[in-house]
Amino acid sequence: MKDLRILVTGGTIDKVHDPRTEGLSFSPDGATHLPEMLRIARCHFPVVQLLMLKDSLYFDDADRASIAKAVEDAPEPCVVITHGTGTMGETARFLAPLVGDKTVVLTGAMRPFSLYASDGEFNLGGAVVAAQMLAPGVWGVMNGRVFAAEALNKNVEQGRFDA
């Protein structure tokens, strides 16, 4: 059983409903839902590290460099990154040449965990398992499929990640 770290960067999976704007934002207290998701999943072993809470549409290269640095600094061989769906593929391809012999799996959700009936738990469950099984490199796990970094793209029309 390999040790595993979850790096939290934000994205829809961690958003909450803001009753003032009727839109989605992050918790005003800057918290992530990952510990709660793991508690419900009865999955006790991952280390959770909150790196940032950002919508990935607003990621720039400095954000991606800080993710690469966190992967490099992780003592575990397996890293799951929770990430917005908007630019998940871009980040995967940015990280691909930088992760050495680590296995990195990006995941996220089309609907926030905090709204229930979310794809977040299903995606996270797949990512945690895949990160322990896949070869070193950068991958995405979404909606029941494993994607190589170069093939990780949202199907905007269907509202999911697809082969």
Residues that bind a second copy (CB under 8 A): 1, 12, 15, 17, 19-20, 22-24, 37-38, 40-46, 110-112, 114-119, 121-130, 132-134, 141, 143-146, 156, 159-160, 163
Least Å from the CB of residue 137 to a second copy: 14
Structure tokens at 74: 């992780």
Residue showing tokens 């994607």: 147
- Note if 9 is an active site residue: no
- Tell me which H or E stretch contains 128: helix 120-133
In this structure, the number of other CB atoms found within 10 A of the CB of residue 150 comes to 11
Task: Please give the backbone phi and psi of residue 131, each rounded to the nearest 5 degrees, phi first.
Answer: -65, -25
Least Å from the CB of residue 48 to a second copy: 13
Asked if 155 and 95 touch (Cβ cutoff 8 Å), the reply is no
Q: Which of 12, 82, 85, 87 is catalytic?
A: 12
Per DSSP, the three-state class of 37 is helix
Least Å from the CB of residue 106 to a second copy: 13
- Residue numbers annotated as active site: 12
